[in-house]
Homo-oligomer: A and B are copies of this chain.
Amino acid sequence: MRATMINGTRDVSVEELPRPELEAPTDAIIKVVAACVCGSDLWPYRGVVPVKEPRQMGHEYVGIIEELGSEVTGLEVGQFVVGSFITSDNTCEICRAGYQSKCVHAGGVGTAQAQYARITNAAGTLVATPEYPAEDLIPSLLAASDVLGTGWFGAVEAHAGPGKTIAVVGDGAVGLLAILSAKQLGAERIIAFSRHPERQALAREFGATDIIEERGDEGVAKLKELTGGLGAHGVVEAVGTQESIEQALRSARGGGYLTILGVAHGVQISGRELFSRQVHVVAGGAPVRRFLPELIDLILERKINPGRVFTLDLPLEEAPAAYRAMDERTAIKVLLRP
């Protein structure tokens, strides 16, 4: 099969590899219908995280079940499924509390930019659609597998809801979909930090009511102006640098909420600042599985259109160009079709 490999800094290729096989009775093999390049894929691509040896890439996917391990229940060969970048049994105490991202049997996905992929913990990870979805919904379903699920988690943990002001730091796909999520969850006011006209437009389409172009303490000052000096009730941080996390923390009001959706190596949060701000902070990979059934319904009912973040749609063979477009920010997010 054809599969995307990263070989080193800014060196991605599409290679011929053996098709994956079932390894555990809880595995599934899926035929990938669509995958994509994630903002976090840029960390090894840009050399921020070193690439020690060539490896496959990809953790966002929708596909068709090709083969099921003997212990997988609730799924059938031929079904169209949406998964997540963390696999989970969805039965342990942590999963039942809604934190499938910290499942006691959690596994990772890292080979989805390919024609086929093996998914561990299949029964607890893959969610089937009632039937093969309309072609134009596939980008949105793909978004659910990571960027939408992650943005949704951000908005939920930021306590987005009626009467609330939510701020979003970061105008990548996750930040933009946190805006969509906050809107869907009923937030009254959504303040987006963005200085990129195309992304500002999509932010507004998704529900942003205000855009702040300033960054850092200037951006915080602007946000304070917009919120009667108090700050936002909840903030979603979707960049992950020291500066952006500090900006996000300072944008929340006392007693407010901050979700940090990505953290670069070396980021340190000052204990004194955390103490003086008195903001509830949670960081981590989103428990996408918790939200998938609801998100899939919203997409199939055409109530949300998160697939709008894919501004470029390429065949898998063009993965190197997809990475370049993401790296150079000429595309918000790039879909890959095997």
A-side residues, CB < 8 A to B, are 93-94, 97-99, 101-102, 104, 157, 228-230, 242, 245, 253-255, 260, 262-272, 274-285, 287
C-alpha spacing A263/B283, complex, angstroms: 20
* A278 and B101 form a contact (CB under 8 A): yes
Residues of B contacting A275 in the complex (Cβ-Cβ under 8 angstroms)? 260, 262-263, 283-285
Shortest Cβ distance from A233 into B: residue: B97
- Tally of this chain's copies: 2
Residues of B contacting A283 in the complex (Cβ-Cβ under 8 angstroms)? 271, 274-275, 278
* A98 and B255 form a contact (CB under 8 A): yes
C-alpha spacing A276/B277, complex, angstroms: 22
Known: A267-B272, A271-B263, A271-B283. Contact between A278 and B99, CB under 8 A?
A: yes
Known: A230-B104, A254-B102, A275-B284. Contact between A268 and B269, CB under 8 A?
A: yes
* B104 and A255 form a contact (CB under 8 A): no
Residues of B contacting A287 in the complex (Cβ-Cβ under 8 angstroms)? 255
Going nearest first, the 9 A-B pairs with the smallest beta carbon separation are A102-B254, A99-B255, A267-B271, A278-B284, A263-B271, A268-B268, A275-B283, A263-B275, A269-B269
6 A-B residue pairs with CB within 8 Å: A99-B254, A254-B284, A260-B274, A263-B274, A267-B270, A274-B281
Question: Which of B94, B102, B229, B269 is within 8 Å of A104, CB to CB?
Answer: B229
C-alpha spacing A233/B274, complex, angstroms: 21
C-alpha spacing A157/B278, complex, angstroms: 12
Q: How far is the CB of A44 from chain B (nearest CB, A)?
A: 16
C-alpha spacing A265/B276, complex, angstroms: 12
Shortest Cβ distance from A274 into B: residue: B283
